[in-house]
Structure 1
Amino acid sequence: MTTAVVTGLGVAAPNGLGHERFWSATLRGESGIGPVRRFDASRYPSRLAGEVPEFDPDEHLPKRLIPQTDRMTQLALAAADWALTDAGVQPGTYDTEQMGVSTAGASGGLEFGQRELDNLWGKGPQHVSVYMSFAWFYAVNSGQISIRHAMRGPAGVFVGDQAGGLDAVAQARRNIRKGLRLVMSGGADSSLCPYGWVSRMSGTQLSTRDDPNRAYLPFDVDAHGHVPGEGGAILVVEDADSARSRGARAYGEIAGYGASFDAAPRHGGQPGLRRAAEVALADAGLEPADIGVVFADGSGSTEQDGVEAATITSVFGAGAVPVTVPKTMTGRMNSGGAPVDLACALLALRDGVIPPTINVRTVDPAYEIDLVTGTPRRWKPKAALVLARGTGGFNSAMVLRAAG
């Protein structure tokens, strides 16, 4: 069966632009979480976010694209450029029909949409941008990446909040197995505007603390919800033989994937995260003992953290595998969160080090997990499991291992 490998990484995160800057900051435990700066959040109960700093689209994109695109698309386009450069892919490397795009979206271009609605009600319809017709759409990142890089193979988008980021990469693997040579995949989101803020607040899971060091504490006895973030990662997924033939370096293989859905408890539904993890392991042909680290979803909600911890201990045993939540440094980035975790896992495989979960002081002993806190931990790279959960009951799991 055709093997899909990741040959390029592009990361735009609150604690670093570009995968190497992001990775260095992550290993140092540097957080990008702080008070919201892009709009006045003082009137809201939640006032912290992980904002991508110093990102000037003029430095990364053609000027003609900037008025057409929302910030989330600008971040995705920049990350796609960085990923292709990292992979050494040039125009003409592959036929345009042999390349596709599969990304995840959750919020869409809410910041662009809010601005244009303000124009509509404040100035009149003649002041609404014609680009509103697509800039707000959660599928626009796939379209813009496809157009910018002449990728005329299959394109699509997955909407599953955090879980959607893994679903999109799984679809990239499917399309590689169907004959494509290269697929751009991952996700990026940004909704740090009043419209997006109240949408996130409706989920009742946002932390209301103002101390960035105590606001987002997954698996801690003092957990109090999560902090939202913006950004994400775009990955170059290639057919392994094609990548090898052009002399490309592979960070790792997409070895296994599983997904499930939590039916509503009122209908007798049970959490399905364990099923997703077990399917991903079976798909990879691996046993639990073959996994050397779990990158957890890390909800920050006591109830959801309990479900995830129970999943990890039921699959691996109590304290049997290191667990980490590096998104404590970025906030939860919707569809961009899991792709960033994939980038972390691939870099952990490359460098033999597990990034830490910062700020967590006391792991709830009831969870019985070995959470990597404080500083990075050395490990002998084996396979890594990435877990992701999305609002509404979505669960996804993905296994990565070193490329053969």
Structure 2
Amino acid sequence: MTHAAVITGVGITAPNGLGAEDYWAATREGRSGIGPVTRFTPDGYPSRLAGEVPGFVAEEHLPSRLIAQTDHMTRLALLAADWALADAGIEPEALPEFEAGVITASSSGGFEFGERELRNLWSKGGSHVSAYQSFAWFYAVNTGQISIRHGMRGPSGVVVSDQAGGLDALAQARRQIRKGSSVIVSGGVDASICSWGWVAQLAGGRLSTSDDPDRAYLPFDASAAGHVPGEGGAIVVLEDAEA
């Protein structure tokens, strides 16, 4: 039997829209999310523009216990997953225990959390490093935290394949639907706009050095001169059409 996969819910945390409705409005209006970096001081770096998610206050959406153990990236992913499940009308606790899984993509992991804890290690010593550093930086942490938050113990995983990660994750999710899972939460969220993450991205030599938000990122244009780092992403709910 071939199980057709359909997308029934969408959650978006993007530089040009916090939530699917805001993002769709920005897309229709051609509104950019690129602007000066604010998450750290970019003075002295050749690239100083980024796409930061506006108006996101994690404490307004997540319990304090999760704030302490998560990177900015994972907080964005958790909110997007909450919205996607709500959009799909799914209550995970009502599903059979192993019926739903989570497959996400990440290209960098929790850089900001890791940078902070490494600073604590260098300046204060090992006793000042958070125990959550053992997993908060890891590529698979978004999958793990979404799975734990919603009790999704079905087929799960993470894909690390740079820009293609989100699409690859959806392909993996579709594969699990075809194998018999009824619900897979999938997508990709990243956020490495911190000094450590910035240096890592600059090392690739592909970042735009323009300070003009309207001209810095021009894909498929004769004047293209690199890309602008961004944060956020999208989480969707895939379901078996029959289910």
In the TM superposition, what is the alpha-carbon distance from 1:68 to its structure 2 partner? 0.1
SS for the counterpart of 1:146 is: helix
- CA displacement 1:48-71 (0-9 Å, x = unmatched): 000001111101111100010000
Conservation of the 8 A alpha-carbon contact between 2:93 and 2:151: no
1:22 counterpart = 2:14: no
Shift, 1:221, TM fit:
1.4
Amino acid of the structure 1 residue aligned with 2:98: E
Which stretch shows the higher mean deviation, 22-31 or 180-189?
22-31
Q: d(CA) in 2 for partners of 1:237 and 1:93? A: 17
The C-alpha deviation readout for 1:324-363, integer Å capped at 9, x for no partner, is xxxxxxxxxxxxxxxxxxxxxxxxxxxxxxxxxxxxxxxx
For residue 54 of structure 2, what is the aligned residue in structure 1?
53
Per-residue Cα deviation, 1:176-230 (whole angstroms, up to 9, x for no partner): 1111010000010000011100111111110000000011011111111111100
Match of 1:145 in 2: 146
Aligned partner letter, 2:126: P
Assess if the C-alpha contact under 8 Å between 1:101 and 1:151 holds in 2: yes
SS in 1 for 2:28: helix
1:21 maps to amino acid: D
1:106 maps to which residue?
Answer: 107
Q: What is the CA-CA distance between 1:93 and the residue it aligns to? A: 3.7
Partner of 1:228: 229
Give 2:56's aligned amino acid: F
SS of the residue aligned with 1:25? helix
- Please say if 1:217 is aligned against 2:239: no
Q: CA RMSD in A?
A: 0.8
Counterpart of 1:241, as a letter, is: E
TM-score (norm 2): 0.98
Unpaired segments ≥5 residues, structure 1: 243-404
The separation in 1 between residues aligned to 2:26 and 2:97, in whole angstroms, is 36
Q: Which runs of 5 or more structure 2 residues have no equivalent in the other structure?
A: none
Q: Which amino acid aligns with 1:16?
A: G
Matches of residues 35-46 of structure 1 in structure 2 within 5 Å?
Answer: 35-46=36-47
Deviation at 1:29, TM superposition (A): 1.2
User: Tell me, what secondary structure is at the counterpart of 1:9?
Assistant: strand
> 1:91, CA displacement in angstroms?
3.5
Match in the other structure for 1:89: 90
Read off the aligned partner of 2:64 and give its amino acid letter: K
Matched letter for residue 124 of structure 1: G
SS at match of 1:97: coil
Residues in 2 aligned to 1:206 and 1:162: alpha-carbon distance in whole angstroms? 14
TM-superposed deviation, 1:167: 0.8
Aligned-partner residue type, residue 196 of structure 2: Y
CA distance in 2, matches of 1:73, 1:182: 21
- Larger relative contact order, structure 1 or 2 (CA cutoff 8 Å, min sep 6): 2
TM-score (norm 1): 0.59
- For the Cα contact (< 8 Å) 1:94–1:181, is it kept in 2? no
